[in-house]
Amino acid sequence: MPRLSWPPPWPLLLAAAGLLLLPWHYPQDGFALVSVWGEDADATSALAQAARHGRFWFWPALAALALCAAWPRALAPAVLGLAAVLAQALAVGVQGWSAPWLEALFGALDDRQFGIGLGGACTTLGFLWLTTGALARRGAFRGDRFVAGGVGLLALLILLFTAWPVLRLLAEMAAPREGFTAWASLAERLLDRKLLSLACVVQPVGCGVLWNTLLLAACSATGATLLGLCFALLVTRTGLPGRRALRMLTVLPLITPPFVIGLGLILLFGRAGLVNQAAEALFGWELGRWIYGFDGVFLAQVFAFTPTAFLVLIGVVEGISPAMEEAATMLRATRMRAFTSVALPLMLPGIANAWLVAFVESLTDFGNPVVLGGSFGVLSTEIFFAVVGAQQEFGRAAVLASVMLVVALGAFALQRRVVARRSYVSLTGKGDAGLPPQLPAPVRRAAMAVALPWAGLTVIVYAMALAGAFVKVWGRDWTPTLEHFRRAFALEWSAGGLIFSGGAWHSLGTTLLLAGIAAPITAAMGLLAAWLLARQDFRGRTLLEFALMLTFAVPGTVMGVAYILTFNLPPLELTGTAVILLACFVFRNLPVGVRSGLAAMSQLDRSLDEAALTLRASSFRVLRTVVLPLLKPAIVTALVYAFVRAVTTVSAVIFLVSAEYEMATVFIINRVINGDYGVAIAYCAVLILLMVGAVGLIQLLVGQRRLGRRAAVPA
């Protein structure tokens, strides 16, 4: 049995601090020094509210704390504490009792309470870890308190910030329409022709948005995965000159606000685009508006999702042991056969994970379809218009979101079935000093034929899009200027010092601060979840994996609306704060860290963990000293993705920002709506430069995985 790794007093002390010393509620007027026994009941601890201000609903939690102090290893007091915190949070709101039956049972209540704050959070975590520790002592989770606590923490956070908002939104599915019952309203929304129509099979009209979404997602995921694999092979398995620059160019669309790619494609292929004008001038061809529809959205999504596939795949490609291919060649296999029969099958988990991530991202993508979709409707845009339209049909939006969720889970189940049939271990505790073999010539030529023209097109698209920041008015006045940068990022000196007088400084500072906080939290949670799912056996493991993918299967717009509906009132009153933005960033981007970690961990032999556990190392020490150093590519993937997605996300936060916490992308969208394209593109250019620097800093801080291999000689 593993050695217990957490000292028992800490959960009890955490719960005691939350109940006795810290303010229970979230401060309504900002953080301030709190008197534990103050006059303002809402700014005091739970003990003060119960003893001095007559808020009797805190006494059960205080009693549970006393029982836990008397019997710290018992399960019942810890469970009682969790139940007491949950009950008081749901029972009393800003208008007294939250349900009529409570008022009938206890009488009218003149008092009220706001949302849970620091004290409530610490108390909940303390009782949670007391509960998981007691379960571990009873034999659950193989007696390992670290594993039990990790599973409990993830389950609680997923329940609060994923399952609860989604269920709160889906509860609107059966909201009755005028003249319909609840069930009739649900059936009418599910059988809507605009959702399920197959008329395009027999006549030249559009199909339902479900079939449009499936076709687009499958094509985009396949194209992005193929391109990501080609780029990963060229960067890691060839001596191609400029590989480092190619690697940075591949990641460039990931660190770009989503509408920059669409703008560049319109400037190239729109009716007044350079390619269309050149085709008409040289050959008399009128290419028309082909960019608006399936073709344009597919092209933009492949641009947008190839970096994600590349980041998932590059760690997998680097992790394949060269000794395996060397052994195949020693047995007289050709280099091509060694690659196709040894290396390529070992890449299957990474390929499947990359395809799944790209497929789900295409399902939930909003920016590209709304800019380039034209009359080609998909689920995400239909949900958006149902939410923000004149009628505000939350019921229809909920039905469309549930359909999208079912599709994403079907892809997830298919991926699990494909990957689970074989073992893909290629890193063991044995020596591994082989040279990474060069790609076979046919594979190298095919990868270059696919990847290099795409890289050239990427450069052209970005050059076109960013050129608008350096001219006065695109299409009318081509005079070079830096006025757009000065308006956004002006600096002035005064008697009091340096003044950030540009209009973009506030949103930029807020964005970088929140993204810098969210990225390490997202990476840590994602890799912890991947380790628990890949290395631990416990009840509910499949359910936890499903819950971790839940936010990725819901469009950002829908998640933003769900957060507004859920966290606008107690017990978690977070709307308008930085906390709701951080929660949105973390749980929207968590699945990529999980999938990247699972893909990389599928190559690590369990004997590495088992050897350390045999030497009496705790689970936490095994994770810290054995597993994490071998997961550095996955750590880089999780950090980079979490940071840049937090900076560039639009749909998930457009309903959550406030005057105090304005995000960069919302500032840019407002400039675009006002027709101020120059400032918007200038801001995008600055964001791209900042994120390139951030990606380089993350790679420098994390470092490279050391596998004890010799360096390959460039071909």
> What mean pLDDT is predicted for residues 575-581?
90
Q: What is the pLDDT of residues 399-420, one digit of tens each?
A: 888 888 788 778 777 776 766 5
| 477-480 and 491-494 beta bridge pairing | unpaired
> What mean pLDDT is predicted for residues 605-626?
81
| DSSP secondary structure letter of residue 166 | H
Cα→Cα distances 91→96, 568, 571, Å = 8, 16, 9
Residue 708: pLDDT over 70: no
Bridge partner list, 349: none
Residue 715: pLDDT over 50: no
As a whole-number percent, the residues of the chain with pLDDT over 70 amount to: 89
Q: What is the pLDDT of residues 654-684, one digit of tens each?
A: 778 888 898 998 888 788 767 777 888 889 8
At 499, which helix (H) or strand (E)? Answer: strand 497-500
- Determine which of 183-197, 266-280, 308-322, 358-372 has the lowest per-residue pLDDT on average: 266-280
Give me the helix-helix angle, 505-535 and 677-702, nearest 10°: 40
Q: How confident is the model at residue 6 (pLDDT cuts 50, 70, 90)?
A: very low
Give the span between the Cα atoms of 604 and 15, in whole angstroms.
38
At 258 the pLDDT is 65
Please state, as a whole number, how many other Cβ atoms lie within 10 Å of the Cβ of residue 335.
17
At 3 the pLDDT is 45
> What mean pLDDT is predicted for residues 8-28?
87
Give me the helix-helix angle, 441-467 and 243-251, nearest 10°: 60
Does domain 477-702 correspond to CATH entry 1.10.3720.10? Answer: yes
Spatial neighbors of 405 by CB under 8 A, at least 6 apart, are 166, 550, 553, 554
Q: How confident is the model at residue 713 (pLDDT cuts 50, 70, 90)?
A: very low
Spatial neighbors of 692 by CB under 8 A, at least 6 apart, are 248, 252, 255
- C-alpha angle 217/524/170, rounded to 5°? 45
Ranked by mean pLDDT, which of 129-133, 288-292, 383-387, 419-423 comes out on top?
Answer: 129-133
Give the span between the Cα atoms of 50 and 58, in whole angstroms.
6
At 692 the pLDDT is 79
Identify the residue whose tokens are 């906390």. Answer: 579
Q: Is the model more confident about 422 or about 459?
A: 459
Q: Which structure tokens are listed for 23?
A: 């303010």
Amino acid sitting at position 558: V
Q: How confident is the model at residue 112 (pLDDT cuts 50, 70, 90)?
A: confident
At 508, which helix (H) or strand (E)? Answer: helix 505-535
Is 265:372 a contact under the CB 8 Å cutoff?
yes
Ranked by mean pLDDT, which of 109-118, 492-501, 689-698 comes out on top?
Answer: 109-118
Give the span between the Cα atoms of 59 and 80, in whole angstroms.
12
Cα→Cα distances 106→92, 100, 112, 573, Å = 12, 10, 14, 25
Topology of domain 210-421+445-470, CATH = MetI-like fold (1.10.3720)
Mean pLDDT of the chain: 82
Q: Which structure tokens are listed for 414?
A: 């298919």
Longest CA span, the chain = 88
User: Is the bond into 571 cis (omega within 30 degrees of 0)?
Assistant: yes
Domain range summary for the chain, segments of one domain joined by +: 9-143, 210-421+445-470, 477-702
Residue 694: pLDDT over 50: yes
Residue 605: pLDDT over 80: no
Same fold, 210-421+445-470 and 477-702: yes
Q: Is 695 left (phi over 0), alpha (psi -120 to 50) or beta?
A: alpha
At 33 the pLDDT is 45
At 704 the pLDDT is 62
Q: What is the pLDDT of residues 39-71, one digit of tens each?
A: 788 888 999 999 988 899 999 999 999 999 998
Please list the helix, strand and coil fractions of the chain in percent, rounded to the nearest 5, in that order. Answer: 70, 5, 30
Q: How confident is the model at residue 1 (pLDDT cuts 50, 70, 90)?
A: very low
DSSP codes, 81-119: HHHHHHHHHHHEETTEESSHHHHHHH---------B-HH
Give the span between the Cα atoms of 227 and 233, in whole angstroms.
10
> What mean pLDDT is predicted for residues 17-46?
76
Ranked by mean pLDDT, which of 145-154, 260-269, 377-386, 486-495 comes out on top?
Answer: 145-154
Residue 425: pLDDT over 60: no
- Assessment of whether the complete model's pTM goes beyond 0.85: no
Spatial neighbors of 180 by CB under 8 A, at least 6 apart, are 188
Is 262:699 a contact under the CB 8 Å cutoff?
no
| 491-494 and 497-500 beta bridge pairing | antiparallel
Ranked by mean pLDDT, which of 247-251, 327-331, 490-494 comes out on top?
Answer: 490-494
Q: Which structure tokens are listed for 713?
A: 């000689």
Instruction: Using DSSP, state whether 197 is helix, strand or coil.
Output: coil
